[in-house]
Amino acid sequence: MATVTYDKASRIYPGQERPAVNELELEIGDGEFLVLVGPSGCGKSTSLRMLAGLEDVDRGRILIQGKDVTNLPPKSRDIAMVFQNYALYPHMSVYENMAFALKLRKTPKSEIDRRVKEAAALLQLDEYLSRKPKALSGGQRQRVAMGRAIVREPQVFLMDEPLSNLDAKLRVQTRSQIATLQAKLGITTVYVTHDQVEAMTMGHRVAVMLDGVLQQCDTPRALYDKPGNVFVAGFIGSPAMNIKTVGLTEGGASFAELAVPLTREQVAAAQGNGKVTIGFRPEATDLVSPTSGGLPIVVDLVEDLGSDANVYGHAALEGSSERFVVRTDRRNMPTMGETVYIKPQAEQVHVFNATSGERI
């Protein structure tokens, strides 16, 4: 177990002006499960590969347990990595795949046998030890790749989108297994995914990246309740938050017929160009009566989810057609083409500066 520190670490690929990772500053605690999340090309996998020693660090440092490993080769960093494609040896059995790294280290046979069998029991792979990878399902191969990392007893686990090749049901099942396993082993884990639902359900903390820059790092609950900027607000949550830039009045934000009240401090902080960016989540939005001062939207689609429903619609706003989504009780489901009136819950409104995108 170990702490991991990114100290203003940057990676600039040859021929590129903009860094793939730009001055990343991040402290990962001993035994912590940290998830790096963001859209494709945001620098999350590059950050992981820098920690693994598979990418150079052009500026800054990376430390593991306080030791500078920036220029150390991967084999000297005491880390174990689980890749997206599992990277199993097809000609070897499950047992041999899991034991391979220990054999290279010339670990005694009895110790290899103990570690492999312990890891197999932990991952429920006991009955598959003699099989070749081609005789396994995707989920089983993924567990073998995990087992190969576990037997090495590293200081840090690195996982690069390990569930992306699994089908949806298996992905949900396996992510809970990984989270349970990490808690049991207590090994510091850095996990990369583009799936924000995966990030929110697995990580102790989640680091959100965009264009090589860390946007915010916090607990899943804090990211959801208090996103630091417009990007984090729109990225975290499914369906995504309704985020609109509208005119600013003395009383607040003007959504056509709907006025969203703001505090005097929020109005003052938003001043500059007469605009403010307002966000409200689908579940923090109510369907109200036509006389309640809500915003009229025309329903485009209704998703019946069983327990509740997502209502997608559009409204004329600031001279253009803007889309909104509302989560409602399925007993109140409107029909397609119907006009309904929506109103965000006042205490659940998020306010951002229209120019910088930062939270107010």
For 246-268, the pLDDT digits (tens) are 998 877 888 887 889 988 888 88
Distance between CA atoms of residues 115 and 118, nearest Å: 5
Report yes or no: 272 and 342 within 8 Å, Cβ to Cβ: no
Q: What kind and span of H or E run contains 230?
A: helix 230-235
Distance between CA atoms of residues 249 and 270, nearest Å: 11
pLDDT tens-digit profile of 264-293?
A: 888 888 876 889 999 999 999 999 998 888
Residue 35: closest CA among 236, 280, 229, 242: 236
Residue-level pLDDT at 272:
67
The backbone region for 261, taken as left when phi is positive above 0, alpha when psi lies in -120 to 50, beta otherwise, is beta
Q: Kindly report the length of the chain.
A: 360
pLDDT tens-digit profile of 302-320?
A: 999 988 999 999 998 878 8
CATH number of 242-352, picked from 2.40.40.20, 2.60.40.10, 2.40.50.140, 1.10.8.10? 2.40.50.140
Residue 275: closest CA among 252, 294, 248: 248
Q: Domain spanning 4-234: which CATH class is it, in words?
A: alpha beta
Which amino acid is present at 158? Answer: L
Distances (CA, A) of 45 to 30, 81, 88, 209, 212: 21, 12, 20, 11, 10
Strand order in the sheet with 67-68: 21-28, 4-11, 59-64, 67-68
Q: Where are the domains of the chain?
A: 4-234, 242-352
Report yes or no: 354 and 277 within 8 Å, Cβ to Cβ: yes
Residue-level pLDDT at 251:
73
Long-range contacts of 106-111 (CB under 8 A, 24+ apart): none
Distance between CA atoms of residues 43 and 59, nearest Å: 15
Residue 345: closest CA among 327, 331, 360: 327
Distance between CA atoms of residues 247 and 94, nearest Å: 62
Which amino acid is present at 106? Answer: K
Rounded to an integer, what is the distance from CA 233 to the centroid of its chain?
13
Q: Phi then psi for 230, rounded to 5 degrees?
A: -65, -40
Name residues of the chain where pLDDT drops below 70.
Answer: 272
What is the reported pTM? 0.90
